[in-house]
Structure formats: C-alpha cells, structure tokens
C-alpha cells in the first residue's frame, strides 16, 4: 500500500499544472472543430483542444511512473472536481439576468455562444476524462511492474493508446452528438485519437527528461505491486 506520509517537492506543482491544462483544453478549445490540410491525408478535421489536452495524459504518465497510481488517482479526482465546478459556475453565470444596457445584452449573447454548451461539454469531459485517465494510469502501472521498470517509451505509448481510445470514444459522442453531423463527428473522433496518441510519441523525449528529473529530485520510483486500484479509494 502506498504511503501517504512521504513529502514531495514537486508533486503539488505537477497537480496544479495538470488541472490547469485540463480545464483550459476542455473549456477554451473543445467546442471548436478546426481543419488542417496534410500531405497524403488531405483535409483533416479535429477538435482544437487536441493541441493541448494530450499534455494532461503525459502528466498522468509522469505521475504514475514517478509517484504511483495512488497519487495519480488523487490528481484525477482533483481534475474531476475542477471540471464539475466549472460546469456549475458556467450554469450560474449564464442564468443570471444581464444588466439592461446594450453592452451586457450583447455580451450575454457571446457568453451563451461560447459557454452555452458547457454543461454538456463538461459532462462529456468528466466522464471521458475520468474513465480514460484511470485506464491510462492502470495500464501504465501494471506495465511497469510486468516490465520491471524497463522501456518507459513502450509503457507511455501503450497506456495512452488504451486511455485515449476510451476518452475520445466517450467525449465527442456525449458532448457533440446531434450538434455536429455524424460524418463530422466520426471524422473528429478518429482524428482526435490518432493526433492525441501521436502527441505522446512526439513528446516521449520530453517525458523521459521530466521523469528522470523528478525521480532524481524526489528520490522516488514507485512500483504498484500492492496497490488498491479501486478508483474510488482515496
């Protein structure tokens, strides 16, 4: 069982960075479908948040690799709570009657356009993120034990392949089914999955550097040999 008494210098900073990336990528970029023209593939549609959201999975890999599944679980719940608060705050702000002047009347329209779908987006985000993150962390932790800590690149990519499959499959269906056309929805889901997984591959050298830095500074390299993997156990 993972000890909860050991103090770490950087764990809180990693948690704060994780939650920040999660909130921004889900609220700022998630509702925008963008297009890019690629050689051989032509025009590809993708959710704008894909440029930043995969970084949260990289942080999840780093947390599990260095601190273990148990401490990554705490970070996942922190992110879950932040998304829930964002949904409640958006609903309250949009429900408030704007002041009776032209600026606030127009501003309310813009708020509705940008955040009017926020409860649905956040519901999809929370469920997809929760399920995908725990799948990612579980696979990462199990592979580390099975492989005796070797081949970090294989573990980070393998866990992301599993976690992002769950995440992408859930999020876009919950958040945008009936809003986007089925063709666009499917195209974005497929593009999202491969782009997110590709990000993990591209960022592997950076992941190695951060993991090695944290292991050295924290004097920690946790193996989840006797871990309770129940996601509701804190």
Tens of pLDDT, residue by residue over 82-135, are 888 888 888 888 888 888 888 988 888 888 877 776 667 778 878 988 999 999
Given this model, what pLDDT does residue 121 score? 73
Given this model, what pLDDT does residue 62 score? 94
45 strand-pairing partners: 35
> At residue 5, does pLDDT exceed 70?
no
Tens of pLDDT, residue by residue over 168-181, are 889 888 878 888 88
* pLDDT above 70 coverage of the chain, percent: 93
Given this model, what pLDDT does residue 118 score? 62
User: Which residue, 48, 79, 78, 61, is CA-closest to 203?
Assistant: 61
> At residue 47, does pLDDT exceed 70?
no
Domains belonging to the chain, first-starting first, are 11-218 (1.10.1760)
Average pLDDT, integer, range 11-37? 82
pTM of the model: 0.82
Given this model, what pLDDT does residue 95 score? 87
Given this model, what pLDDT does residue 2 score? 53
> At residue 13, does pLDDT exceed 60?
yes
* pLDDT above 90 coverage of the chain, percent: 41
Tens of pLDDT, residue by residue over 63-74, are 999 999 999 999
């Amino acid at each position: 069982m993972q000890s909860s008494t050991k103090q770490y210098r950087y764990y809180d900073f990693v948690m704060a960075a994780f939650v920040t990336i999660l909130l921004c990528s889900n609220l700022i970029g998630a509702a925008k479908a963008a297009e890019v023209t690629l050689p051989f593939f032509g025009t590809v549609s993708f959710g704008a948040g894909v440029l930043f959201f995969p970084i949260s999975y990289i942080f999840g890999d780093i947390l599990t690799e260095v601190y273990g599944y148990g401490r990554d679980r705490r970070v996942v719940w922190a992110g879950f709570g932040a998304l829930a608060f964002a949904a409640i705050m958006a609903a309250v702000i949009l429900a408030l009657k704007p002041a009776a002047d032209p600026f606030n009347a127009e501003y309310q329209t813009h708020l509705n356009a940008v955040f009017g779908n926020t409860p649905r987006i956040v519901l999809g985000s929370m469920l997809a993120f929760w399920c995908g993150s725990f799948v990612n962390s579980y696979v990462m932790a199990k592979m580390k034990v099975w492989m005796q800590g070797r081949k970090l690149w294989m573990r980070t990519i393998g866990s992301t392949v599993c976690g992002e499959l769950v995440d992408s499959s859930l999020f876009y269906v919950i958040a945008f089914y009936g809003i986007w056309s089925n063709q666009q929805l499917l195209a974005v889901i497929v593009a999202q999955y491969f782009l997110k997984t590709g990000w993990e591959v591209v960022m592997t050298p950076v992941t190695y550097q951060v993991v090695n830095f944290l292991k050295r500074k924290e004097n920690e390299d946790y193996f989840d040999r006797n871990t309770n993997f129940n996601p509701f156990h804190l």
